[in-house]
Amino acid sequence: MSARVFIVRHGNTFEKGDVVTRVGGRTDLPLSPSGLAQAEKLAAHFVGQGIVFATACSGPLRRTRQTADAILATQASPPDLLTELFLREIDYGPDENRPEPEVVARVGQAAMEAWDKHGAPPPGWRVDPAALVGNWQEMFSDLRGQPGDHLVVTSNGIARFAIDAIGARREDLKLATGAYGVIALGEPDELTVWNQRP
């Protein structure tokens, strides 16, 4: 049996009618009620698909840990949830916790599209794409020798670099809240699912 990595983005942190802000690594929000529902939906989906996680890790922020906890709560024999610091969301610099229209006004629509399509950070954001790609490659190398399914829960700003880590290409790198992607580790590694919501 080969290894598969299920990369999950945490659930919602805002509800309809809330002012949505650019929430990065310095803003530790919990899941909103709809985010908790998304996490429970992911959990039911994975159980319904017969997916049993051999390992599990998440970033240190509450929103990622709550999502992982909800998924693992439905597993018959869940693995321990480990914390990987590189899975913490990126630092949005001057745009941290700012309303999205203000962020777009500051950096421009073209910069936001470059981020979503190519992982190119807008000016002022504190992110090292090469380091994140290297972190993902190291994780994949470690998991390659461990057959089975592996759960990784993180944020959108981090998840997108997993695609570059295996040399895959996509039109849109964004992973929606409560969505997941799957990378099959092998020769070569293969992106089999991206931005799938149950």
The string of DSSP letters for the chain reads --EEEEEEE---SS-TTS--B---TT--PPPPHHHHHHHHHHHHHHHHTT--EEEEEE-SSHHHHHHHHHHHHTSSSPPPEEE-GGGSPPB-GGGTT-BHHHHHHHH-HHHHHHHHHH--PPTT-B--HHHHHHHHHHHHHHHHTS-EEEEEEE-HHHHHHHHHHTT---S-----TT-EEEEEESSS-EEEEEEE--
pLDDT exceeds cutoff 90 at 23: yes
pLDDT exceeds cutoff 70 at 117: yes
pTM of this structure: 0.96
pLDDT exceeds cutoff 90 at 169: no
Contacts of 59 (CB under 8 A, 6+ apart): 65, 83, 84, 85, 86, 87, 88, 89, 153, 154, 155, 158
Compute the distance between CA of residue 129 and CA of residue 171 in angstroms, rounded to an integer: 18
Contacts of 107 (CB under 8 A, 6+ apart): 95, 122, 123, 124
The pLDDT score that the predictor gives to residue 162 is 97
Q: How far is residue 8 from each of residues 56, 122, 125, measured CA to CA in Å?
A: 11, 24, 23
8 Å CB contact between 63 and 38: no
Q: What is the pLDDT of residues 29-84, one digit of tens each?
A: 999 999 999 999 999 999 999 999 999 999 999 999 999 999 999 999 999 999 99
As given in the structure block, the two tokens for residue 90 are 């990126």
Reported confidence tier of residue 171, pLDDT bands at 50, 70, 90 = confident
As given in the structure block, the two tokens for residue 195 are 């931005």
Q: What is the amino acid identity at position 163?
A: I
- Beta strands 180-185 and 190-196 are antiparallel
The pLDDT score that the predictor gives to residue 155 is 97
The pLDDT score that the predictor gives to residue 1 is 66
